[in-house]
C-alpha cells in the first residue's frame, strides 16, 4: 500500500521495476492521489468554450515528458501553481512508451504524484499522443491500447492517420479518404469504451508533420470524408492537427543547436478559422517546442488551442551544464545509429549529417536505454535541471496566455484551481 510517507520510495520502485510489475505499483500510487483530491479529467469543456469564443484566446501546452517524469513534472507543476495557470496537459505517445521504457500506467502515476507533491488538487489532463495508424492492421492493437490508457485516466487521445492517403486519387477527398476511414473507425471504438459521464477528447491529424503544408481545402476534404464514416449519433473529433511549417524535434544545425523554423502563421489562422467552421474546437500545433518564445506567443491569437512540447524538455536535460559529461559522451557513442524518432518517424540517415546532428535526432532513445542511470543522477543535478525546466515552463505559460487563468479550472471542474 502506498502512503504519503512511502511515496518517494514507491515512485523509485515503480520507475525501475520490470515492465510487467509496474501496473500494480502504479495503481497504488494513483489510488493515493485520487484519495487526496486529484482526478483524471477531459479537457473537452474548455476546448468547446474556446471554440465558441467564450474564453479569451489561450493555447494549452501539452508536455511530453519522456523520462524522469516525477521530478520533471514536479518542476512544471510548481511553475504552473506559482503563476496560477489554467489547464496543462501531460502526454505520452505509444512510440515513447516503448522506446523510452515508460508504461502509460507508470506515466499517469508519476504525473499525478508530482501534482500531489506540489500541493495541487483538482483535474489532471492526461493524453495519449500520436496513436499512429500506418495500415488497417494497426487498428485492433490501438483499440486495445486505448482501452488500457483510458483505464489509467488518459481522457485525451490523438489519432494520427496522416501517413495513410491515396496518392493516385483524382481529388482531395479521395486523397484523404484512407486517413478519414481509419480515423472514423478508431473514433467509434474509443467513444464506445469511454467511461460514463466522460467525453474522451479526440484529435485527428491532416498532413504529416514535417511534410507539405496543409491547405484549407485539405481540411475541408478530410472533414467531409470523416463525416461520411461516422453515424449521426457518434461525436467526431474535438480538435485537428495540421502541418504549418514545423517538424518534430525542430531544425538541427551542424553544431547540434536548433535553428528557426519557418512557420506560416497566416496559414495557421486560416486553418484555425476553418477548423471551427467545421465543428471542431480548434487547431493543434505539433513540433513546436524548439520554436522561439516570440513565435509561440503568436499561437493563441492565431486560434491554436493546443501545442505539443517534447524536444525542448529533452534538450534542457541532456544539454544542461550540470548533466554528467561522461554519461553524455557514452550516449553519443551508442545512440547515433537509432532508426526512428520518438514519434515513430524515420530519421534522416544522410551521410552529410554531422555527429552532433546524428546524436541530437537519435538521443531520445537514451530515456529508455539509460533509464536506470538517469534515475540515479545526483540530487543536485536534478535540482539544477528542474530549476531550468521551471524557468522555461514559466516563459511558455506566459507566451501561451495561460498564466493567471486558474479561474478557468474552477469554472469548469469541481475543485479545479491551480
DSSP assignment string, 295-345: HHTTTTTTTEEEEEE-HHHHHHHHT-TTS-HHHHHHHHHHHTT--B-TTSP
**Closest to 41 in 3D by CA, of 409, 307, 418, 402:** 409
Domains identified in the chain, total number: 1
- Predicted confidence at residue 249, as pLDDT, reads 45
Report yes or no on 144 lying in a domain. yes
- Predicted confidence at residue 417, as pLDDT, reads 56
- Predicted confidence at residue 259, as pLDDT, reads 43
pLDDT tens-digit map of 31-64: 999 999 999 999 999 999 999 999 999 999 999 9
Report yes or no on 339 lying in a domain. no
CATH of the domain at 139: 3.20.20.70
Report yes or no on 237 lying in a domain. yes
Q: What DSSP line would sit under 213-270, residue for residue?
A: PPPHHHHHHHHHHHHHHS-TTS---SEEEE-SS--TT-EEPTTS-EE-----HHHHHH
Which pTM was predicted?
Answer: 0.92
- Predicted confidence at residue 257, as pLDDT, reads 46
Pairing of strands 304-309, 283-285: parallel
Show the domain range for 313. Answer: 7-325+368-397
Report yes or no on 19 lying in a domain. yes
Report yes or no on 373 lying in a domain. yes
Report yes or no on 169 lying in a domain. yes
Report yes or no on 243 lying in a domain. yes
- Predicted confidence at residue 210, as pLDDT, reads 47
Render each residue's pLDDT in the chain as its tens digit; 418 residues: 899 999 999 999 999 999 999 999 999 999 999 999 999 999 999 999 999 999 999 999 999 999 999 999 999 999 999 999 999 999 999 999 999 999 999 999 999 999 999 999 999 999 999 999 999 899 999 999 999 999 999 999 999 999 899 999 999 999 999 999 999 999 999 999 999 999 999 999 997 644 678 999 999 999 999 999 999 888 999 999 988 865 544 444 444 444 445 678 899 999 999 999 999 999 999 877 678 899 999 999 999 999 999 989 999 999 999 999 999 999 988 876 555 555 555 555 556 677 777 888 888 999 999 999 999 999 999 999 999 999 999 999 999 999 999 999 999 998 655 5
- Predicted confidence at residue 358, as pLDDT, reads 80
Q: What are phi and psi of 201, to 5 degrees?
A: -75, 120
Report yes or no on 336 lying in a domain. no
- Residues in CB range of 49: below 8 A, 6 or more apart: 55, 412
Pairing of strands 60-64, 89-92: parallel
Amino acid at each position: 500500500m502506498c502512503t504519503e510517507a512511502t511515496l518517494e520510495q514507491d515512485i523509485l520502485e515503480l520507475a525501475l521495476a520490470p515492465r510487467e510489475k509496474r501496473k500494480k505499483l502504479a495503481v497504488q500510487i494513483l489510488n493515493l492521489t485520487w484519495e487526496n483530491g486529484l482526478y483524471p479529467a477531459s479537457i473537452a469543456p474548455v476546448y468547446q468554450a474556446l471554440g465558441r469564443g467564450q474564453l479569451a484566446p489561450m493555447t494549452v501546452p501539452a508536455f511530453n515528458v519522456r523520462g524522469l517524469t516525477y521530478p520533471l513534472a514536479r518542476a512544471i507543476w510548481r511553475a504552473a501553481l506559482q503563476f496560477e495557470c489554467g489547464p496543462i496537459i501531460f502526454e505520452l505517445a505509444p512510440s515513447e512508451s516503448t522506446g523510452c521504457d515508460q508504461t502509460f500506467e507508470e506515466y499517469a502515476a508519476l504525473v499525478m504524484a508530482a501534482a500531489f507533491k506540489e500541493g495541487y488538487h483538482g483535474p489532471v489532463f492526461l493524453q495519449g499522443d500520436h496513436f499512429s495508424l500506418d495500415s488497417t492492421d494497426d487498428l485492433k492493437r490501438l483499440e486495445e491500447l486505448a482501452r488500457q490508457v483510458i483505464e489509467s485516466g488518459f481522457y485525451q487521445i490523438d489519432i494520427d492517420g496522416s501517413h495513410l492517403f491515396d496518392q493516385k486519387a483524382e481529388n482531395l477527398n479521395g486523397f484523404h479518404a484512407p486517413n478519414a476511414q481509419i480515423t472514423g473507425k478508431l473514433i467509434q471504438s474509443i467513444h464506445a469504451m469511454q467511461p460514463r459521464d466522460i467525453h474522451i477528447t479526440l484529435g485527428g491529424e491532416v498532413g504529416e508533420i514535417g511534410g507539405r503544408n496543409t491547405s484549407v481545402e485539405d481540411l475541408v476534404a478530410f472533414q467531409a470524408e470523416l463525416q461520411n464514416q461516422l453515424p449521426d449519433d457518434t461525436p467526431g473529433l474535438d480538435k485537428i492537427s495540421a502541418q504549418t511549417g514545423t517538424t518534430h524535434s525542430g531544425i538541427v544545425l551542424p553544431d547540434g543547436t536548433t535553428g528557426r523554423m519557418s512557420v506560416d502563421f497566416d496559414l495557421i489562422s486560416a486553418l484555425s478559422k476553418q477548423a471551427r467552421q467545421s465543428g471542431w474546437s480548434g487547431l493543434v500545433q505539433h513540433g513546436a517546442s524548439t520554436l522561439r518564445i516570440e513565435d509561440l506567443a503568436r499561437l493563441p491569437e492565431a486560434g491554436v488551442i493546443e501545442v505539443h512540447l517534447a524536444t525542448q524538455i529533452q534538450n534542457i536535460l541532456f544539454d544542461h551544464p550540470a548533466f554528467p559529461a561522461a554519461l553524455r559522451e557514452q550516449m553519443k557513442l551508442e545512440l547515433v545509429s537509432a532508426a526512428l524518432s520518438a514519434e515513430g518517424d524515420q530519421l534522416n540517415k544522410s551521410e552529410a549529417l554531422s555527429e552532433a546532428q546524428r546524436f541530437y535526432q537519435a538521443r531520445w532513445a537514451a530515456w529508455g536505454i539509460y533509464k536506470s542511470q538517469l534515475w540515479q543522477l545526483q540530487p543536485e543535478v536534478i535540482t539544477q535541471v528542474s530549476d531550468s525546466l521551471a524557468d522555461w515552463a514559466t516563459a511558455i505559460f506566459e507566451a501561451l496566455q495561460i498564466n493567471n487563468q486558474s479561474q478557468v479550472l474552477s469554472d469548469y471542474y469541481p475543485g479545479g484551481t491551480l
